[in-house]
Chains A and B, each alone.
Chain A
Amino acid sequence: MSSARRTLGLLGTLRASLSRELRVALRSPGNIVNPLMFFVIAVSLFPLGGRSDPAYLSGIAPGVIWVTALLAVMLSMESLFRGDYEDGSLEQLLLSPQPLYFHLLTKVFAHWLMTGLPLVLLAPVLAMMMALPGEAYGALLLGLLLGTPTLNLIGAIGMALTVGLSRSGVLLAVLVLPLSIPVLVFGAGLVDTALNGLPLMGLASLLGALLVLAAILSPLAIGAALRISVN
């Protein structure tokens, strides 16, 4: 009977965990599509609401795209732990003998694949609408690629703290947005740097360093916050 039984190493467990997260995300497409819709609509309000001449738009484009992306990421965080908290899976995750640290990292990574990556891929389309000059596209993509996972990791801490509350929206924003400021500053700055024809290495490295720091430290904070939330 136990002939088919295979012991899984840490990587095997994480692969199973990743495929579960992706599957769950695909089963409720609203959680994926809604933040993207918000991103598209919010950015497209700027040419409509403000002046629509390209010189003006391209001036505000880096800030507008980055701020909207940040808000879209915050919007997407709501679904990260909510379902697992409500059906009790979160308790099982906390009681699993496997290391929680890597499980949480996997969970956030799966969330980024489903919500952050589409956001990054959509950004060039919106940049075109904002009349962003061609030479800045690379910097925008690079910045978002490094920045959105960081925002997800920071947002996950806030979400873990507020998952026990029935409405966490505003509180989540108050907790997380201040922590996201460095990513926003460096990310939008990276696009400006490219517009001015300066080397990107410095700011890109800073964004990379923030990502590494967040990936190392935030699972600890998320784990601690979840333990408080299920208490």
Chain B
Amino acid sequence: MLSVSNLYCERDERVLFARLDFAITAGEVLQVRGTNGSGKTTLLRILCGLNHDYDGDVLWDGQPLREVRESFHAGVFYLGHSPAINRTLTPLQNLRWYCASQGYEDDDAIRAALAARGLGGYEDLPCYQLSAGQQRRVSLARLALSPARLWILDEPFTALDRGAVAELELLIADYAERGGAVLLTTHHPLQLPTPPRVLDLDVLAGRRT
């Protein structure tokens, strides 16, 4: 699905990773590990097409990213550090905009997705009245609305309570079972039925063996 060959990236004259080769295929969960500052977020942003300061190739279905931008963007869901939720709008309005940006509208699905994240009854409250964890849940409700084949999740468990963490793990396992691929970073010990494949940036950079 997504493959990387000979990826090299440096930041402020410090090499984050060099000669990085890996691929992620359908039904797979790949966890990127590394200490703070090891380049996890940078790697994820390169892979979803937000960061362009790198050498090497990122291929989507065997094609260079630049040439298949549209199908790539339609096939990838990215969740970054910031929730991408406008605080003055309600969860419903935020998700309507998200669905429109994916090319469809479906209020029933949005309500179902919000209810599934435990936000039933909060649909029409402005997001600034929600807690950080609840805003995070609104953001995660997009997972159910996205048609993507690959999820790229940067620290998806941040600010979530224990129940929500378990729910999200279930969601990830279920998605992988249905043939989706997940690439994520987290410092939380993942509880999945099949343990995820691990890509350790510290080991690759020779900081740790």
Known: A86-B82, A96-B73, A96-B101. A91 touches B108 (CB 8 A): no
Chain B residues lying within 8 Å of A87, measured Cβ to Cβ, are 82-87
Chain A residues lying within 8 Å of B103, measured Cβ to Cβ, are 7-8, 13, 97-98
Chain B residues lying within 8 Å of A89, measured Cβ to Cβ, are 84-86
Known: A88-B80, A95-B49, A95-B73. A4 touches B85 (CB 8 A): no
Give A227's nearest chain B residue, CB to CB.
Answer: B52
Interface string of B88-102 (1 = CB under 8 A from A): 110001001110111
How many of chain B's residues have a CB under 8 angstroms from any CB in A? 38
- Asked if A231 contacts B102 (CB within 8 A), the reply is no
Bound-state Cα–Cα, A231 to B109, Å: 33
Query: In B65-123, which residues have CB < 8 Å from any A CB?
Result: 70-71, 73-74, 76, 78, 80-89, 93, 96-98, 100-109, 112
Chain A residues lying within 8 Å of B48, measured Cβ to Cβ, are 95
Bound-state Cα–Cα, A140 to B150, Å: 54
Query: In A49-67, which residues have CB < 8 Å from any B CB?
Result: none
Give A94's nearest chain B residue, CB to CB.
Answer: B50
B51 contacts chain A at the CB level, 8 A cutoff: yes
Q: Which of A2, A6, A97, A230 contacts B50 (CB 8 A)?
A: A230
Chain B residues lying within 8 Å of A13, measured Cβ to Cβ, are 100-101, 103
Q: Which of A1, A83, A227 contacts B109 (CB 8 A)?
A: A1
Among A12, A27, A91, the most chain B Cβ lie within 10 Å of the Cβ of A91
Known: A88-B80, A91-B50, A231-B53. A97 touches B109 (CB 8 A): no
The A interface is mostly helix, strand or loop, or mixed, namely helix
Chain A residues lying within 8 Å of B101, measured Cβ to Cβ, are 13, 17, 92-93, 96-98, 103
A sample of 10 inter-chain contacts (CB < 8 A) reads A2-B108, A7-B103, A8-B103, A12-B105, A13-B100, A16-B96, A27-B126, A91-B78, A97-B102, A98-B103
**Which chain A residues have a beta carbon within 8 Å of chain B's beta carbons?**
1-8, 12-13, 16-17, 20, 23-24, 27-28, 83-84, 86-89, 91-98, 103, 227, 230-231
Given contacts A5-B109, A7-B104, 5 further A-B contacts (CB under 8 A): A12-B105, A13-B100, A27-B88, A95-B76, A227-B52
